[in-house]
């Protein structure tokens, strides 16, 4: 049987693979080479990628030759490391993961050569994350994942569709389509990028990169110095506090937690603009989309139905409840505020 290797096109899409680092090592590439004029294209491209992801909140979709992609990947992580702001790193990691997710989904959907498909599954799922994914022998559009591998990831997703009961389960395997299979490892991909940046040690930067870092810092730091945007989280129900804390750290909140947060803030009388600012630290923040969604929940758009705050029971089922003893007797997070205020008031008397 012929041995199939990853093509250069694959390495371009997945520049975090071992094959990409092998390329850098084999070509004996030196960081100082980035000061050469022909490298300007790479550095500008890396900056464009960071801006697209971090400032615009969208996936960088352009795909070039593998030599370009590998070096762009390298410069990108050097710049993000040098900017040294956690929420920028998280946002970059998430969008890089989503970029990989997009390419990988397409590859798994379109690749006709089964051996090639298996190789990709092995390289990304197997080698990087120790997840064994197989192709369903009866339908090659479907993939089989061990129930335990599925549960270790999907049980932390909050959407009901990911609950095991809503999946096709048989003989120790969960059957998923390409999108779903790739979605399973989004957070691991994001952590992989995040850790690559975190663990990187930087010596002196080439001047050309240094200049780009300063330029980007000037643009992004005023938006992302989230320390100035920290929200007082003391008076809210523990579930809301928890969500705000995650948001303040720049972590990616699930959709259901965002609905909880927005409806809660609406219920306690915050303005639409105040609520939109709350979501500013979300790694995938997009003002237009956030505004539309908050207005939708407020009943200003769409069906004109004002959404109420999810009940404690619903939040429990979505793993969003972080009840303390002060939650005793309440059925909705909104009631917590009321009880808590009353209790404080009584104490103060």
Partner 1 sequence: MLLRNAFREYYFRYSKTLETPEHIDQREFGYMQFGAGMIRHLSFRNIGELLAILIKEVPSDVYCSNAYYRFPTYTMQEKQWIGADLIFDIDAKDLHLPCESTHSYFVCTNCGEVQDSKFELCPSCDTGKLTQTLLPCNKCNYALKKEVKHLVDLLMNDLGIKEKSIHIYFSGNNGYHIHVLDDEFYRLDSHARSDIVGYIMGNDIMAESIGVRKASSPSVVDFSVKFPKSGMIYGWRQRIARKLGIDRSLSISKMDKIVQQKGGYSGFKSELHKMAKEMSVRIDPLVTMDVHRVFRMAGTLNSKSGLTKVLCKEIESFDPLTDACFLMDKEVNVNVKSPIKLKLKGQSFSLKKQTTKLPAYAAIYLICKRLAQAI
Closest to partner 1 by CB, 24 or 147? 147
Binding residue for partner 1, selected from 176, 184, 239, 312, defined by CB under 8 A: 176
* Alpha helix positions (H), the chain: 8-13, 18-26, 40-50, 66-83, 86-110, 114-120, 129, 147-154, 178-183, 186-199, 207-224, 238-248, 255-267, 272-278, 287-297, 312-317, 333-348
Segment contacting partner 1 by CB under 8 A, of 25-33, 162-170, 189-197, 252-260 = 162-170
Q: Are 283 and 90 in contact (CB under 8 A)?
A: yes
- Residues 80-119 vs partner 1: string with x where CB under 8 A? ----------------------------------------
Nearer to partner 1, 62 or 163 (CB): 163
Scanning 151-159, 190-198, 258-266, 282-290 for contacts with partner 1 by CB under 8 A, the matching segment is 151-159
Do residues 251 and 194 touch, judged by C-beta distance below 8 A?
no
- Our CA dihedral for 67, 187, 287, 242, rounded to 10 degrees, sits at -150
Which residues are CB-contacts of 1 (< 8 A; sequence separation ≥ 6)? none
Q: How far is the CB of 136 from partner 1 (least distance, A)?
A: 8
Tally of residues, the chain: 349
Query: Is the Cα dihedral 155, 167, 121, 104 positive or negative?
Result: negative
List the one residue out of 261, 299, 293 whose CA is nearest residue 278.
261
Which of 141, 326, 331, 342 is in the footprint of partner 1 by CB under 8 A?
Answer: 141
**Does 134 engage in binding with partner 1 (CB under 8 A)?**
no
Q: Does 218 bind partner 1 (CB under 8 A)?
A: no
Chain residues 312-331 in contact with partner 1, contact rule CB under 8 A: 317, 319
Site string for partner 1, 249-288 (x = CB under 8 A): ----------------------------------------
Q: Which is nearer to partner 1, 274 or 313 (CB)?
A: 313
- Contact residue for partner 1 among 146, 270, 291, 296 (CB under 8 A): 146
| Interface size with partner 1, residues (CB under 8 A) | 29
Interface region with partner 1, contact rule CB under 8 A, candidates 138-146, 223-231, 263-271, 282-290: 138-146
Check binding of 160 to partner 1 (CB under 8 A).
Answer: yes
Give dist(CA 168, CA 220) in Å, integer. 44
Q: Cα–Cα distances in Å, from 252 out to 88, 179, 230, 293?
A: 12, 19, 16, 17
Which of 152, 211, 221, 230 touches partner 1 (CB under 8 A)? 152
- Candidates 142-150, 192-200, 268-276, 337-345: pick the segment binding partner 1 (CB under 8 A): 142-150
Sheet holding 143-146, edge to edge: 133-135, 143-146, 173-176, 168-170
List the interface residues with partner 1, window 7-66 (CB under 8 A).
Answer: none
Residue 167 binds to partner 1 (criterion: CB under 8 A): yes
Q: Does 173 interact with partner 1 (rule: CB under 8 A)?
A: yes
- Other CB atoms closer than 10 Å to residue 229's CB: what's the count? 15
Binding partner 1 by CB under 8 A: which of 38, 61, 171, 325?
A: 171
């Amino acid at each position: 049987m012929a041995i199939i290797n990853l093509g250069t096109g694959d390495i371009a899409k997945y520049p975090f693979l071992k094959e990409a680092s092998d390329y850098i090592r084999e070509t004996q590439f030196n960081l100082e080479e980035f000061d050469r004029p022909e490298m300007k294209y790479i550095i500008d491209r890396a900056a464009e990628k960071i801006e697209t992801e971090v400032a615009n909140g969208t996936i960088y979709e352009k795909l070039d030759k593998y030599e370009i992609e590998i070096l762009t990947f390298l410069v990108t992580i050097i710049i993000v490391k040098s900017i040294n702001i956690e929420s920028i790193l998280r946002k970059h990691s998430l969008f890089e993961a989503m970029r990989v997710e997009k390419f990988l989904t397409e590859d798994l959907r379109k690749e006709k050569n089964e051996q090639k498909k298996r190789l990709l599954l092995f390289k990304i799922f197997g080698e990087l994350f120790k997840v064994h994914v197989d192709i369903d022998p009866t339908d090659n559009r479907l993939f089989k994942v061990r129930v335990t591998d599925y549960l270790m990831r999907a049980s932390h997703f909050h959407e009901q569709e990911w609950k095991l009961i809503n999946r096709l389960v048989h003989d120790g395997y969960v059957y998923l389509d390409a999108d779903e299979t790739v979605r399973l490892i989004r957070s691991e991909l994001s952590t992989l990028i995040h850790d690559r940046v975190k663990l990187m040690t930087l010596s002196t930067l080439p001047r050309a990169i240094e200049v780009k870092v300063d330029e980007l810092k000037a643009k992004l730091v005023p938006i992302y110095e989230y320390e100035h945007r920290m929200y007082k989280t003391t008076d809210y129900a523990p579930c809301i506090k928890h969500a705000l804390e995650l948001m303040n750290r720049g972590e990616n909140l699930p959709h259901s937690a965002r609905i909880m947060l927005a409806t809660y803030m609406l219920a306690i009388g915050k303005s639409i603009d105040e609520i939109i600012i709350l979501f500013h630290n979300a790694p995938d923040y997009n003002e237009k989309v956030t505004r539309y969604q908050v207005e939708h929940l407020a009943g200003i758009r769409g069906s004109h139905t004002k959404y109420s705050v999810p009940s404690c029971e619903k939040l429990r089922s979505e793993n969003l409840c972080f009840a303390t003893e002060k939650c005793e007797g309440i059925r909705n997070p909104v009631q917590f505020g009321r009880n808590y205020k009353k209790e404080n008031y009584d104490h103060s008397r």
